[in-house]
Amino acid sequence: MNIGILGLGLIGGSLGLDLRSQGHYILGVSRRESTCQRAIALGCADESSVDISLLAKAEVVFICTPIGLIVPTLEQLIAHLPSNTVVTDVGSVKTPIVKAIAPLWDNFIGGHPMAGTADSGIEAAIPNLFEKNPYVLTPLPTTPPDAITIVEKIVYELGATLYHCSPEDHDKAVSWISHLPGMISSSLIAACMSETDTNVLQLAQKFASSGFRDTSRVGGGNPELKVMMARYNRQALLNSLQQYRHNLDELIHLIEHEDWAALEQQLQFTQKARPKFVD
């Protein structure tokens, strides 16, 4: 199948690597000529160009640009596509994107691979990024079944675990497990950096090990992506942050009142709950 990838960064480049290895012919389009050349050299695309009209030959196009550019890019793209081309995107927020694109392109289905690293750009592309990770599709009742089937087949080829839900439920769910952790992890780093005793701060930086590595990982990732999540999933993220502030206040209260039994009960509850989210 001819598959187009628009936006050759971490996600677009990684998709290109895996889909090429499945035998698909990958047409890559990105903003910078140097990225297009690197995409070919790294094996992320068979042909690559800054000219969006290259994608006229694609049967399916994955839009993998930063969130804020997905809709404007689709608007440019559709002038070059035959009406049967299936278009999907990988944006981390779904409601505003699906709402804006559905009236413009019938064969569109929103998507979100739940996989990433702290790096960005074409050099960050890695093979098997999506394998065994969730990949969410957010079709509408009006989405043509053939378009859904074609994208589902590609998702299975990536080795990902497929889920369907509405764009609105997707955005609320990812607010809890992706957008909220991004903000909490950033605040954790900021709180540690507020230590005014330089000796203590330096010691903390030297002592930081696996626990801090795990809890600060997403806070150390791509800032542009986190700003986009906050901008485009603002209400759900605010709800999650307000609930989180309430949970923090409860912890502070228990510790201030030296209520160790209640604190232990709370920590037992979270210890039991964690495996419901991740292994």
Binding stretches for ligand NAP (CB under 6 A): 6-12, 30-32, 35, 64-67, 69, 73, 90-92, 112-113, 116, 120-122, 124, 222, 225
In whole angstroms, what is the distance from residue 168 CA to residue 235 CA?
11
Which residues are bridge partners to 6 per DSSP? 29, 63
- Least gap, CB of 168 to ligand NAP (angstroms): 17
In whole angstroms, what is the distance from residue 166 CA to residue 174 CA?
12
Nearer to ligand NAP, 13 or 139 (CB): 13
Nearer to ligand NAP, 176 or 266 (CB): 176
Name the residue with the smallest CB distance to ligand NAP.
9
- Least gap, CB of 83 to ligand NAP (angstroms): 22
Strand 47-49: give its sheet, edge to edge: 47-49, 25-29, 2-6, 60-63, 86-89, 108-113, 134-138, 161-164
- Least gap, CB of 180 to ligand NAP (angstroms): 15
- Least gap, CB of 163 to ligand NAP (angstroms): 14
Buried b (16+ CB within 10 A) or exposed e, 67-105: bbbbbebbeebbebbeeebbbbbbbbbbbbbbeebbeeb
Side-chain-side CA neighbours of 124 within 13 Å: the count stands at 14
Nearer to ligand NAP, 124 or 192 (CB): 124
Nearer to ligand NAP, 19 or 254 (CB): 19
- Least gap, CB of 249 to ligand NAP (angstroms): 30
Nearer to ligand NAP, 11 or 254 (CB): 11
Q: Which strand (E) or helix (H) includes residue 210? A: helix 210-216
Do 163 and 171 touch, CB atoms closer than 8 A? no
- Least gap, CB of 24 to ligand NAP (angstroms): 19
Nearer to ligand NAP, 17 or 67 (CB): 67
Do 229 and 238 touch, CB atoms closer than 8 A? no
